Amino acid sequence: MNAKIKKAIYPGSFDPITFGHLDIIQRSTQLFDEIIVGVLNNQAKHPLFSVQERVDMISELVAGIPGVRVLSFEGLLVDFARQMDATIIIRGLRAVTDFEYEIQIAQTNHVEYEALETVFLTTSLRYSYLSSTIVREIASYHGDITSFVPREIIPLIEQKMMKTA
């Protein structure tokens, strides 16, 4: 490996962040020098949490992990990567169902920004079923989400569910 700093972006909606995402962040720090968690500001998705709320939540949770920064972005990921001077994108692969979509995005990004490489980390088995959608779904029925997300953010999720009920 050369001496150049390996800066990687881990993009996603993180609505909300789960143990699966945190596992990928933690493992990425073993591979790269700097990880930028890129929180996508996509109003079209009607997120449960605003982008600022997601950035704040994740920032607190990763505060103890050296080399991790949390930023929001909107628009194209390739533009954000250029702006950050990053040439690596990290994505998590849970199952074959993720693969088709992910490979298409990775290849498109590579065409648009040749220096950009996408690295896929396979999910830890214990989180392979886990998604933000599942967390939102269970929380909407006031189910137990303690196995899916850090304790600190559970009250925030519950509050949102009260408001949207």
Question: Is-catalytic flag, 94?
Answer: yes
Integer Cα distance of 24 and 32 in angstroms: 12
Question: Applying CB under 6 A, does 49 fall inside the site for ligand ADP?
Answer: no
Q: Which helix (H) or strand (E) element contains residue 105? A: helix 96-112
Closest to ligand ADP by CB, 42 or 87: 42
Question: Is-catalytic flag, 91?
Answer: no
Question: Applying CB under 6 A, does 132 fall inside the site for ligand ADP?
Answer: yes
- Least separation in angstroms between residue 1's CB and ligand ADP is 24
Question: Is-catalytic flag, 45?
Answer: yes
Question: Applying CB under 6 A, does 28 fall inside the site for ligand ADP?
Answer: no
- Least separation in angstroms between residue 3's CB and ligand ADP is 28
- Least separation in angstroms between residue 11's CB and ligand ADP is 6
Task: Out of 69, 94, 110, 160, pick the active-site residue.
Answer: 94
Closest to ligand ADP by CB, 6 or 94: 94
Indicate which single residue of 7, 54, 91, 136 sits in contact with ligand ADP (rule: CB under 6 A).
Answer: 91
State in Å, rounded, how far the first CA of the chain is from the last one.
52
With 0-12 / 13-18 / 19 or more C-beta atoms within 10 angstroms meaning exposed / middle / buried, residue 77 is buried
The set of residues, in sequence order, having a beta carbon less than 8 Å from that of 16 and lying 6+ positions away, is 48, 49, 54, 57, 132, 135, 136, 149, 153, 156, 157
The stretches of 4-95 forming alpha helices (DSSP H) are 19-28, 51-62, 77-84
Nearest to 58 by CA among 164, 136, 149, 163: 149
- Least separation in angstroms between residue 120's CB and ligand ADP is 8
Query: Judged by CB under 6 A, which stretch of 6-14, 110-118, 139-147, 152-160 contacts ligand ADP?
Result: 6-14
Task: Out of 7, 13, 21, 54, pick the active-site residue.
Answer: 21
Question: Is-catalytic flag, 59?
Answer: no
- Assign 138 to helix, strand or coil: helix
Which residues are known catalytic residues? 21, 45, 94, 132
